[in-house]
A and B are shown apart, each in its own frame.
Chain A
Amino acid sequence: MRREIPLLITAIAGVVFVVQYFIPHSPFNHLDGWFSDWFSIVQACAIVLGSLNLLMISSQKIARKKEGWGYAVVIIVSFFLITIIGFAGGEEFRDVGTGFDWLYNYTYVPLSSTMYAILAFFVASASYRAFRARNAEATLLLLAAFFVMLGRVPIGDLLTMWMPEGFRMSNLATWIMDFPQTAGQRAIMIGIALGLVSTSLRVILGIERSHLGGE
């Protein structure tokens, strides 16, 4: 029963989601929304599990003085600080000028932006590795990247303004993005779509059950 009930629920939910796409009649047209609402409710309840797990693991790290236990202290202090300030703010805790709002705008947002900004440097290092002309494919990639990057900045057109319109750098970049790139990406997306259908069917039929913790 431990396996059969989840499999049954999965099969019913899967069939319902497929059917509701083709049947606009009630109750089918509401099922998507109902299931999504229930998923959000379960998800919200599960947050408690996650939070408790985070606190427990961090506490263990501090108690056992494991490597990097100082970070665990930061996690616990931040966790309780934001929770207490949030609750202290009452129902309007998200309003402008509240303590929660201040913490959100002056700690969370800058930290997130910093992580996102690091991408610029990682893109440079990854590109350097990817574009090394080690073989024919990598050389092709390097050339395509050269045209696209140069075509995206004004100097690209400035250097090629003596050429016919279609051969200017920005037009070459657009051509590469619109045709070879789009064709390649669509091929991958067709494979992904078929893979999705196949995996979903396996899950609905109960053939694929390893995600339930076993073959």
Chain B
Amino acid sequence: MCSLALVVLIFILTIGNALAQEEVLPPDSTAVVEEAAYAQPVLNLQAEDKPNDAGGAVRVSWDVSTDDDGDGGIIGYTIYRGTAAAGPYEVVGQVPSGKSDFDDGNTADSLTYYYKVIAMNDALFSAGVTEVEMALATTAGPVQSSEQWFDFRRINVFAGTLLLSFLIIFMISRAKAGKKLFIRKIAGMEAVDEAVGRATEMGKKIFYVPGINDMDNVQTIASMTILGRVAELAGQYDTWLEVPVCRSLVMVTAKEVVKEAYTKVGRPDSFQENQVHYLTDDQFGYAAAIDGMVVREKPATIFYMGAFFAESLILAETGNATGAIQIAGTAMPSQLPFFVASCDYTLIGEELFAASAYLSREPKLLGSLKGQDMGKAIILVSMVVGIILETFGIWEFSQLFSVIE
């Protein structure tokens, strides 16, 4: 009886020992993992809160498996995540071979996470990752995701914005102190008086088209500034100014601008509500409506100031065909050639934004233009330096200007 019990005990101990050995066997043991399924593990596994983000993401990085040498031994890596070091773990992503990081963008900021990464070859992919392999894999963590207070990838943009703002404010203060500033002539702006005068002499209307974008576009804001000046002249000369718009908010703003301009020149009674009117929000519907009005009413002068898209040429060519004097201004680079080809004068890009300073000659506004010019000078010098350095194979300087979207 005792000997039987001893045999059973030995048998149990032997089996138990064998099982225990199974758990600590090295990964290359054929007793545990099929040789074909085994892949060298990743090294130096790390998990950290993803930097420069709004939380909810953890970055996992590792050194690729020594089997990942480009000959197809490793087909990719599977990333596992758990909320405890002992598991359980769930798959959160897969990346192809050669890649050594993964952003888990689906984490809760209040939880702690642990990560494991398994290098996968064809056999392992087919057989599936066993619990033993999971237990043997290195664990990274604990890690928590969190929101950041500053996106350091954008520090160059931040520095540039501060510098440009400083230059503009500095030049404004100089202008306010009485420093005389030279502003070159802008032909399109010089022609505004002439264009309004022409309409007055001919006894015809002036059309002012403020583009097809809403008041959230800086070009439309700049356009409203020029409209103010045109409306003042039209009020002075008692010439009919018509402003067909394609956004309701632009209509409300334009009405206010024209009304104020008429009041300023002492002709508040000349302003009529229907001078500024809404047509449609639709791009080509708007173009068709204005084309119809231009062909029927043959205005003497047409202004196109603001953001324009494909309708620019349709509008400008129709105006050109009726013989109207046309002045355009836009900051849409792709539409500029059309306006240049079809209009008498075109404010190119930044000239549209400079118009308010140019027209008012107010020192504060002129100062901001000078600050802008200084910014341009810095960019020009940087470009020349960058070209020289790049020519000699020094890339670091140009990388200072790279912007992360």
Contacts and interface: CB of A to CB of B under 8 A. Distances in A.
Interface of A: 18, 21-26, 29, 39, 42-43, 46-51, 53-54, 56-57, 60, 67-68, 71, 111-112, 115-116, 118-119, 122-123, 125-127, 129-130, 185, 188-192, 194-203, 205, 207-208, 210-215
Interface stretch (B58-66, B94-102, B354-362): B354-362
Nearest to A191: B350
Contacts of A123: 313
Contact of B148 (A25, A56, A122, A198): A25
B224 interface: yes
B53 A24 contact: yes
B253 A125 contact: no
A112 B222 CA distance: 29
Contacts of A67: 296-297
B284 A194 contact: no
Give the one of B296, B372, B379 with max A CB within 10 A: B372
Given A198-B371, A213-B259, A50 B349 contact: no
Interface stretch (B73-81, B110-118, B119-127, B335-343): B335-343
B248 A49 contact: yes
Given A46-B248, A188-B333, A195-B350, 4 more contacts: A111-B284, A126-B338, A195-B354, A203-B218
B224 A194 contact: no
Given A112-B285, A215-B360, A196 B353 contact: yes
B39 interface: no
B282 A57 contact: no
Contacts of B338: 126
Contact of A53 (B214, B251, B356, B360): B251
Interface in B205-264: 214-216, 218, 221-222, 224-225, 228, 247-249, 251-253, 256-257, 259-260, 264
Q: What DSSP secondary structure best describes chain A's contact surface?
A: helix
Contact of B216 (A39, A50, A190): A39
B277 A57 contact: yes
A84 to B, nearest CB: 18
A101 B292 CA distance: 27
A21 B172 CA distance: 26
B351 to A, nearest CB: 8
Contacts of A130: 337, 340-341
B256 A213 contact: yes
Interface of B is mostly: helix
A208 B342 contact: no
Q: Which of A126, A205, A210 has the most chain B CB within a 10 Å cutoff? A: A210
A211 B224 contact: yes
Nearest to B277: A57
Contacts of A201: 164-165, 168-169, 368
16 contacts: A23-B149, A24-B147, A24-B151, A25-B147, A26-B54, A46-B248, A68-B292, A112-B283, A119-B314, A126-B342, A194-B375, A195-B349, A196-B331, A197-B372, A198-B164, A207-B364
A38 to B, nearest CB: 11
Contact of A112 (B168, B284, B349, B360): B284
A210 B288 contact: no
Contacts of A122: 313-314, 317
Contact of B365 (A42, A43, A208): A208
A192 B331 contact: yes
A198 B368 contact: yes
Contacts of A207: 172, 364-365, 368
Given A129-B341, A210-B224, A54 B218 contact: no
A211 B225 contact: yes
B251 A22 contact: no
A1 B375 CA distance: 35
A43 B313 contact: no
Nearest to B360: A215
Contact of A202 (B154, B224, B365): B365
B328 to A, nearest CB: 13
A199 B149 contact: no
Contacts of B316: 126
A18 B161 contact: yes
A76 B140 CA distance: 69
Contacts of B360: 210, 215
B395 interface: no
B310 interface: yes
Nearest to B330: A192
Contacts of B186: none
A196 to B, nearest CB: 5
B86 to A, nearest CB: 33
B327 interface: no
Given A18-B161, A24-B151, A71-B292, A49 B375 contact: no
Nearest to A24: B54
A56 B311 CA distance: 26
A210 B356 contact: yes
Contacts of A24: 52-54, 147-148, 150-151
